[in-house]
Amino acid sequence: MNDRQVLMRDLLVWFALTGWALALPAFGSDFVVSMALTCLMYVALSSSWGLFCGSTRYLSLATSAFFGIGAYTSALMLERTGWFEAIALGALVATAVAVVMGAAVLHLRGTYFAVLTFGMTELIRHAITYFEKSVTGTVGRVLTVVPERDTVYLTVLGLASATVALSIGVRRTRLGLALLGIGADEQRAQTLGVNTRWVKIVGFAMTAAVAGAVGAAMSVRWTYIDPHTVFNPFIGFQTVLIALIGGAVTLWGPLIAAVVFSLLAETLRLAAPQVYMMTLGLLLILSVLYLPGGLASLRWDTWKVWRDDMRAWWRTRRYEWNGDKARDKRLARERRLG
């Protein structure tokens, strides 16, 4: 497939998925819609995470910071402004924080970057807790203005859909190429004329804008929010895990993994919450060891290779235990003839 055909395929899949999700509230039960909402939230979060962190290999753990900032902004603003203004404002504040944060830590690489983004998330969470306790004298806030179920669903669907479209688009621009070059060899990309500092800040800000908007839209799901709910590091971790298991560099990997995980989470969380976390960990280990490209890199050939590997392994075990009569016979004949 050439580039154009890939683009057409991606757009068709995107269109079909969006249309399907659009129709869901019409026939789905409350439970199904709520599950789909979680699913769409993680599609948006991990697709946007993969857009920057996947291609540049800068592992950011700050998703929950941007999510929480968005959630708090909309919780504060919903009483005064409209729904979409609140979401836009959430995205805007998260972007602003990301630009400042990015300027401070994006020159670091690898573990240092990951740890610092996580540290900053905790810093923001504790700063807000402290501020609430000492200045306003309350912890958390109750959301009184809550829009319709379908409004929230359609907004998050719009965000997820826009994120995937953004991801399709950015891959084909100079920005996407620059991000890829930074992931492959940052210094080389610089000597070829990429202003890596700006590219990284823009990419990081894009991730943050999506996370902030999603946080702003999702805040109404809880009628009461406090720093521990919306700055929950688990949101950030799960985003990273989903993106990695799905294949962070790929377009559809995070989406596939997000769907799989939301379904898994809803079915397992009620029955056995610990089993869900264990499955998540196990899948991460397996995908890092045997499928570094993530679920999206699975092909029919991958299965064949695994099957052949298993067969070869089993054959050698069998010969070890039973001896290989056919091979012994063949060797004996060769010896006789040769």
Partner 1 sequence: MAESGNVLLEAREVTVRFGGLVAVDAVSASFRAGELVGIIGPNGAGKTTFFNALTGVQRPTSGRLVADGRDLTGAGPHRFAARGLARTFQTPRVFGDLSVAANIGFGLKFAGRRRRRWWLWGDEVGVPWALRDVAGILSLIGLSEQAALPAGALTPSQQRLLEIGMALSTRPRLLLLDEVAAGLTETELVDMARLIRRLRDELDLTVVWIEHAVTTLLRHVERVIVLHQGRKIADATPVEVVNDPEVIEAYLGDEMVDEALSRPSAETVAGAPERATRGGPP
Given the rule CB under 8 A, which residues bind partner 1? 174, 177-178, 180-181, 184-185, 187-197
Smaller CB separation from partner 1, 56 or 196: 196
Smaller CB separation from partner 1, 138 or 173: 173
In the complex, least distance from residue 195 CB atom to partner 1, rounded to whole angstroms: 5
Determine the angle formed by the axes of helices 30-49 and 63-77, rounding to 10 degrees: 130
In the complex, least distance from residue 184 CB atom to partner 1, rounded to whole angstroms: 5
In the complex, least distance from residue 180 CB atom to partner 1, rounded to whole angstroms: 8
Smaller CB separation from partner 1, 186 or 226: 186
How far, in Å, are 171, 172, 185 from residue 180 at the CA level? 9, 11, 9
Smaller CB separation from partner 1, 168 or 189: 189
Smaller CB separation from partner 1, 197 or 327: 197
Smaller CB separation from partner 1, 195 or 302: 195
Smaller CB separation from partner 1, 134 or 187: 187
Q: How many C-beta atoms surround the C-beta of residue 82 within 10 A? A: 12
Smaller CB separation from partner 1, 110 or 281: 110
Torsion of CA 263, 264, 270, 275, to 10 degrees: -170
In the complex, least distance from residue 182 CB atom to partner 1, rounded to whole angstroms: 11
In the complex, least distance from residue 83 CB atom to partner 1, rounded to whole angstroms: 40
**Which residue in 80, 88, 69 sits closest to 145, CA to CA?**
80
In the complex, least distance from residue 256 CB atom to partner 1, rounded to whole angstroms: 21
In the complex, least distance from residue 291 CB atom to partner 1, rounded to whole angstroms: 17
Return d(Cα 72, Cα 230) in angstroms, integer.
Answer: 8
In the complex, least distance from residue 179 CB atom to partner 1, rounded to whole angstroms: 12
